[in-house]
Amino acid sequence: MSQNIKTESLAGAPSADQVADFLRAHPDFLAKRPELLSAMDAPTNTATGDNVADFQTAMIRRLKREKEDATDVAQELIDTSRDNLTSTTRVHDCVLALLGADSFERLIESVQSDLAMILDMDAVVLCVESERAEDFPMRSVTLVPPGFVDHQVGAGKALNLRAKISGDPEIFAGAAPLIQSDALVRLEISKTSPPALLAFGSRDADKFHPGQATELIGFLSQVLSQLIRIWLGHPA
């Protein structure tokens, strides 16, 4: 039975001349279906003539492209892994710097100084909603009007990553002209605390962008939120 099916299949197949005529009529066929080259045997160099296609050269060229593509992908994975390791190490260093603060005031000052330096940011700012400046006399805290956090981050959202922007003076003050991308992270300090956000600003327009992984920056913000709550003695 299988022999009959095979014979019938071969009987209905086009002849070699028909295949050759088809390829002559459609010279771009293999260009559109390059995967077929890997299933073909390359001709020997004895085939010569202006009208003879050098499939061997085409196959070698294709294999070279595949090798280059594979090398590029491997290098991209290596670079990404190295960048992730560097970012993780920097966030760990930031956490240690925050844990090393010996007072609440030093903790807040560390946000702008230590975090900016360790993370290689142009600005790191802690914003707290308040209508009265006397509520937060420390210069390291940027006071913003009520509703500011929801407006900037988005109601119900934990963070907002923005690329290719002009820095917001209300957040970054004098550093605003430098900022071309930022990450705004909502701080969940306490039910009794006013809304707050941690802003990271960079002069690199693509440093932050929507769709970027946010686990590390989210973790750092959670650590800061808990430390502020502990220093102020607020309930969770």
In this predicted structure, the answer to whether residue 5 has a pLDDT above a threshold of 60 is no
In this predicted structure, the answer to whether residue 114 has a pLDDT above a threshold of 60 is yes
> Residue by residue, what is the 3-state secondary structure of 144-170?
ECCCHHHHHHCCCCCEEEECCCCCCHH
Q: Which residue has the tokens 């991308």?
A: 181
Helix (H) or strand (E) holding 198: strand 196-202
Per-residue pLDDT averaged across 122-129, rounded? 93
**What is the pLDDT at residue 50?**
47
The C-alpha atoms of residue 209 and residue 179 are separated, in whole angstroms, by 13
CA distances from 166 to 28, 163, 176, 182, 204 (A): 49, 9, 7, 9, 11
Per-residue pLDDT averaged across 14-31, rounded? 81
**What is the pLDDT at residue 2?**
46
In this predicted structure, the answer to whether residue 195 has a pLDDT above a threshold of 50 is yes
Task: Give the bridge partners for 234, in sequence order.
Answer: none
**% of the chain at pLDDT higher than 70:** 73
**What is the pLDDT at residue 149?**
95
State pLDDT tens for residues 141-150. Answer: 889 999 999 9
State pLDDT tens for residues 144-194. Answer: 999 999 999 999 999 999 999 999 999 999 999 999 999 999 999 988 888
The ranges assigned to domains in the chain are 15-82, 100-232
On average, the pLDDT of the chain sits at 81
**What is the pLDDT at residue 51?**
46
**What is the pLDDT at residue 77?**
62
Instruction: Let me know if domain 100-232 sits in CATH 3.90.660.10.
Output: no
Residues in the chain: 236
**What is the pLDDT at residue 8?**
47
Whether the Cβ atoms of residue 165 and residue 141 lie closer than 8 Å to each other: no
Q: What pTM was estimated for this model as a whole?
A: 0.65
Q: Which of 46-60, 161-175, 198-212 has the lowest mean pLDDT?
A: 46-60
- C-beta neighbour count of 183 within 10 angstroms: 24
Most confident listed range (20-34, 77-91, 137-151, 220-234):
220-234
Q: How many helices (H) and strands (E) does the chain have?
A: 9, 5
